[in-house]
Amino acid sequence: MKKRLFKISIILLFAFLLFLFYYIYLPVINIHSSDLWIFIISLLFLGAGAYKIIKFKTANQKIIKGIIFLGITLFSIYLIGYILSSPIINAKKYQSLINIKNSDFNKDIKEISYDEIPILDKETAINLGARKMGSIIDMVSQFEVDNLYTQINYNATPTRVTPLNYGNIFKWITNRKNGIPAYMKIDMATQETELITLDNGIKYSFSEPLNRNVNRYLRFNYPTYMFDKISFEIDDNGIPYWICPVKTYSIGLFGGPIIKKVILLNAITGELTEYNIKDVPMWVDSVYSAELLISYYNYYGMLKNGYFNSILGQKGCLKTTEGYNYIALNDDVYVYTGVTSVTGDKSNVGFVLMNQRTGEANYYTISGAQETSAMVSAEGQVQHLGYKSTFPILLNISNQPTYFMSLKDEAGLVKKYAMVNVEKYQIVAIGDTVSECETNYINLMSESNIEINKNHNKKNISGTITYLKEVVINGNTHIFIKINNTDKYFSIPIKNNINILNYSLNDNINIEYEEQSSYNIITQIN
């Protein structure tokens, strides 16, 4: 009787461990999933061991050997499938995972206004979010800010958003009923940081330990779906969602990952909506992760002349540079990275923009400095201050491809801005404001006899000054004015045009300016 109870106990323990293993490990039930193969193979070897323990001396050795043989056979199939799915055999198929279109820089990338330029990176966003959270006493004791910070276009504004997390398991127990009450939203152009409180809290998150955990909730609802990198976004009404791309493999069993579907998970209600890739709502920005898109381009660039050429001769091989950033174009977010020759020097032969919603990719043939060289050039201009550069984003400044960087102090706060010409990276401009930086940059290009469009976004207006006030911005004095025939404010740093001090209320003035959404930037007083 004791022996029988022992065997039953072993079986129940094995069943419990099996359930626990599945609950934690969450293997997808899909033949293309490496996790499933490893799960089944591990289960066979564990089963053989459990059978041996239960049966003791009466264990049928043929059964044990059969289970082990089956496990070894499956492992061998797994290895063969892995090899047959690899680029070694399927170089052309991997090289065709992405379609690259050669495009024109000035046609595709339009000049944008100052208030549309994202001046902060993820690291700075994390610092701003932490500072904002620290000022909200009633929440900071219970919740912490997730470091996810997805970059999106929110109402045509470059924005980073991230959810809050439960502080720990005990704070989860206390707050689970109402959920997470807010998320963080940061305007990347103005650095305005907001903690957006919700009428109904976020119930589904990665900080949930049980069934409302995002991974577990998706697995129980879609046991056969394989998910790529899941991101946090908000729709046009500010409702938080988890964007869950569904991937499959198009080359053999385990090769050539592609996205065919997307699941939108409402982070508040848990509602799940499935879309084919071509039907994804326009407000969604992060379907294809940056890592996946960059891997696509590296397959494309490295495997043009076969796999072994990419390892040995490397003739014609191209690869992306170290690092990437994001660019907002046409209400979509694009991954930007430079392209360099594997056998060449430390320079770019072009760059590529890849749409995170559609997966479309455009290549631009523009040779010049690598991003890291531009960062070093910018840091060299402020080496006495010890500022460090963010990874560049690519802008069109007066029809010139230009690296734009923020320069940060040791605390991670943005102090200055830099622009570096891609093709002639010795042209480096620094400014305390973005507008000052661009003015300095355009002047440097003019001095270097580079053909530029000086009046690319400039307008003229005349009228009577109805408002005039001095304002200090980042340590620099600006004069803000209003003119009688418009409701817009106009601003100019005094050091850029000291003649503004000669004007008073009710004086007539004729100015040249660049239009912005919040206020216009005066470029010249005529």
- Residue 139: per-residue pLDDT: 86
- Kindly calculate the radius of gyration of the chain based on its CA atoms and give it in whole angstroms: 29
The 8 Å CB, 24+ separation contacts for 131-139 are: 131/193, 132/184, 132/193, 132/194, 132/195, 133/164, 133/184, 133/195, 136/195, 139/164, 139/181, 139/182, 139/195
In the chain, the amino acid numbered 395 is L
Query: End-to-end distance of the chain based on CA atoms, in angstroms?
Result: 104
- May I ask the CATH class of domain 458-525? mainly beta
DSSP-assigned states of every residue in 446-491:
HHTT----TTTTEEEEEEEEEEEEEEEETTEEEEEEEETT-S-EEE
CA neighbor of 41 nearest in space, from 14, 71, 64, 70:
71
For residue 180, what is the DSSP state? E
Q: Where are the domains of the chain?
A: 2-84, 117-287, 371-447, 458-525
pLDDT tens digits, the chain, 526 residues: what are they? 666 776 677 677 767 877 887 788 888 999 999 888 888 888 888 777 766 666 655 556 777 788 888 889 999 999 999 999 999 999 999 999 999 999 988 888 887 766 677 888 888 899 899 989 888 877 888 999 999 999 999 988 899 999 999 999 999 999 999 999 999 999 988 888 999 999 999 999 999 999 999 999 999 999 999 999 999 999 999 999 999 999 999 999 999 999 999 999 999 999 999 999 999 999 999 999 999 999 999 999 999 899 999 888 888 899 999 889 998 888 899 999 999 998 766 789 999 999 999 999 999 998 888 999 999 999 999 999 999 999 998 898 888 899 999 999 988 888 999 999 998 888 999 998 888 888 889 889 888 888 776 555 567 888 888 888 888 776 678 888 888 877 778 888 777 677 888 888 888 888 887 766 556 667 677 6
What's the pTM value of the predicted model, to 2 decimals? 0.82
Please name the residues in contact with 18: beta carbons below 8 A apart, sequence gap of 6 or more. Answer: 43
- Residue 56: per-residue pLDDT: 54
CA distance 465 to 400: 35
In the chain, the amino acid numbered 204 is Y
Please name the residues in contact with 371: beta carbons below 8 A apart, sequence gap of 6 or more. Answer: 321, 322, 323, 338, 348, 391, 392, 403
Q: Are strands 255-266 and 240-251 parallel, antiparallel or unpaired?
A: antiparallel
CA atoms within 13 A on the CB side of 41: 16
- Residue 16: per-residue pLDDT: 81
- Residue 156: per-residue pLDDT: 82
Beta-bridge partner residues of 407: 389, 416
Q: Around Cβ 69, how many Cβ atoms within 10 Å? A: 12
Using an 8 Å Cβ cutoff, are 198 and 204 in contact? Answer: no
